[in-house]
Amino acid sequence: MAPWFLVCLGGRLFVDDFWSGVGVDLHLEPDAAAGRRAGLERALRDAVRDGRLAPGTRLPATRRLAAELGISRGTAKGAYDQLIAEGYLTARQGSGTEVARLPATSLEAPGARARARAPRFDLRPGSPDVGTFPAAAWLRSLRRAIATAPSLAYDYGDPRGRIELRTALSGYLGRARGVSAPPERIVITSGYVQGLALLTRVLNGGALAMEDPGLPFHRDVVRRSGGTVVPLPVDERGACPGELDAVRADAVVVTPAHQYPTGVTLHPERRRALTDWARARAGLIVEDDYDGEFRYDRQPVGALQGMAPGHVVYLGTASKTLGPALRLGWMVLPPHLVDAVADIKLHSDHHTESIGQLALAEMIDSHAYDRHVRACRLRYRRRRDQLLDRLGARRSVRGIAAGLHALVEVADEAEVLARAEEEGLVVGHLGDHWHAPGEGRPQGLVVGYGTPRERLYPEALEVLGRVLDEV
């Protein structure tokens, strides 16, 4: 029996069990002017056509619907019968009434045509191989975390994040990335983008030097957060710190482990020059370590943050190691920025979700996270080697020592991209990444290792190789 509750109307109390036990909520606004049955039929028909009632949606029983709308059960049943006859609804004995699964041509969902035109192969960078998400390990960690979590874990939390994850990250980042990361200087975020936006707001409209070429979306994040973007050139040794005084930057955003999109690793001399600039100018270095764990020729290069913890903000995420869907990232901040970042975080989203934090902390502490990263490192190296086997003898392939992408040099991006599209292939290209377009800039294809799936990757490379051979 549905639970009972009291409804107060005009000072009188009525006992009612209907509104708490309908089972299926259905928002309809029948046009009374058309007649009760015709108005209900039209409202249901429009809801199905518009997609507000998706195929397979179970509708309320006629008795319930009639009571909710204040009409007779016969009127509700007559409307259902009419729409069943028209093919909009289906009814089976014992299963109730459902929205029919109409042909795609008569009720095409938004975006269906775009999906139909999806490429056969997608070699664009930016995403990991999400098919390798360690579902079993994550589920075990989640169960352990929930079994031992205090009840307060389900309440509003510290804007800096759960202490369990901050403590686990402190140990992991220290041993795996060489980061000086006391738990009290870590702030958990929903990813790199949120961390970059929070820092920009702390800088209160300051100028951020960002690598050129670099990811346009990150430049947009800075501008939309109130900051000013100035270009910082990148060459074969990484970002050029000697340009910082000329551009008058308050902070500089760099990808030292594996620059995006050129793939170069920041040279040791450049690392020292960057930290010297920060100390001398009271500047801030923002280190984006988005794929720092993936090094293929030797042990991963340690984070820049370890050289100057008081002047570097370290940003990392689980997006490239586990998957973007988790929305878990972290900032390791100099002491003087912790309170300011935490305050802005509090007033932007209060705190990052807690249950995933607890599961990731458990995964790190049990070393399941390390095992997964090592397995991914082997998988991506295998893909890197396949890329070199197919293209390396014919083209210059750069940035292959680390990361989730490589840069393949070409003479005419536009021609290659057009030919690739004809073959059902999409791939990233260098032209998208410059701060400003211009004649004479280097050209190249940015090829990711994350997509497509493992069994399709060799075929995708074969198509890319054929395109390059023909152009």
For the chain, where do the domains classified as CATH 3.90.1150.10 start and end? 121-131+371-470
For the cut 60, the answer to whether the pLDDT of residue 8 exceeds it is no
pLDDT at 440: 77
What is the Cα–Cα distance from 49 to 47, expressed in whole angstroms? 6
CATH topology of domain 134-366: Aspartate Aminotransferase; domain 2 (3.40.640)
User: How confident is residue 246, by pLDDT bands cut at 50, 70 and 90?
Assistant: confident
pLDDT at 49: 87
Half-sphere exposure of 272 (CA within 13 A, CB side): 2
Four-point Cα dihedral 392, 123, 371, 146, nearest 10: 170
Burial state string for 430-450 with b = 16 or more CB within 10 A and e = fewer than 16: bbebebeeeeeeeebbbbbbb
Give the list of residues 6+ apart from residue 442 with CB closer than 8 angstroms, or none: 409, 430
User: How confident is residue 109, by pLDDT bands cut at 50, 70 and 90?
Assistant: very low
Task: Convert the chain into a string of H (helix), E (strand) and C (coil).
Answer: CCCCEEEEECCEEEEECCCCCCCCCCCCCCCHHHCHHHHHHHHHHHHHHHCCCCCCCECCCHHHHHHHHCCCHHHHHHHHHHHHHHCCEEEECCCEEEECCCCCCCCCCCCHHHHHCCCCEECCCCCCCHHHCCHHHHHHHHHHHHHHCCHHHHCCCCCCCCHHHHHHHHHHHHHHHCCCCCHHHEEEECCHHHHHHHHHHHHCCCEEEEEECCCHHHHHHHHHCCCEEEEEEEECCEECHHHHHHHCCCEEEECCCCCCCCCCCCCHHHHHHHHHHHHHHCCEEEEECCCCCCECCCCCCCCHHHHCCCCEEEEEECCCCCCHHHCCEEEECCHHHHHHHHHHHHHHHCCCCCHHHHHHHHHHHCCHHHHHHHHHHHHHHHHHHHHHHHHCCCCCEECCCECCEEEEECCCHHHHHHHHHHCCEECEEHHHHCCCCCCCCCCEEEEECCCCCHHHHHHHHHHHHHHHHHC
Half-sphere exposure of 331 (CA within 13 A, CB side): 31
pLDDT at 102: 67
Q: How many CB atoms lie within 10 A of CB 469?
A: 10
User: How confident is residue 194, by pLDDT bands cut at 50, 70 and 90?
Assistant: very high
For the cut 70, the answer to whether the pLDDT of residue 185 exceeds it is yes
For the chain, where do the domains classified as CATH 3.40.640.10 start and end? 134-366
Q: How many CB atoms lie within 10 A of CB 233?
A: 14
pLDDT at 128: 95
Return left, alpha or beta for 222; rule: phi > 0 is left, psi -120 to 50 is alpha, else beta.
alpha
What is the Cα–Cα distance from 337 to 323, expressed in whole angstroms? 28
Query: Which is more confidently placed, 170 or 94?
Result: 170
Least confident of 14-18, 267-271, 417-421: 14-18
With tokens 């708490």, the residue in question is 20
For the domain made up of 17-99, the CATH class stated in words is: mainly alpha
pTM: 0.81
With tokens 């995006």, the residue in question is 260
For the cut 80, the answer to whether the pLDDT of residue 114 exceeds it is no
Four-point Cα dihedral 84, 87, 89, 94, nearest 10: 60
pLDDT at 340: 98
* pLDDT, mean of residues 288-295: 91
Q: Render pLDDT for 337-364 as a digit per residue (tens, 0 to 9).
A: 999 999 999 999 999 999 999 999 999 9
Q: Render pLDDT for 34-83 as a digit per residue (tens, 0 to 9).
A: 788 888 889 899 888 888 888 988 888 888 888 888 899 999 899 898 88
For the chain, where do the domains classified as CATH 1.10.10.10 start and end? 17-99
Q: In CATH, what is the architecture of 121-131+371-470?
A: Alpha-Beta Complex (3.90)
What is the Cα–Cα distance from 314 to 410, expressed in whole angstroms? 34
| Spatial contact of 169 and 368, defined as CB atoms under 8 Å apart | no
Q: How many CB atoms lie within 10 A of CB 73?
A: 14
Least confident of 106-115, 131-140, 175-184, 362-371: 106-115
Peptide bond into 183 cis (omega under 30): no
Of 426, 464, 416, 331, the closest CA to residue 120 belongs to: 426
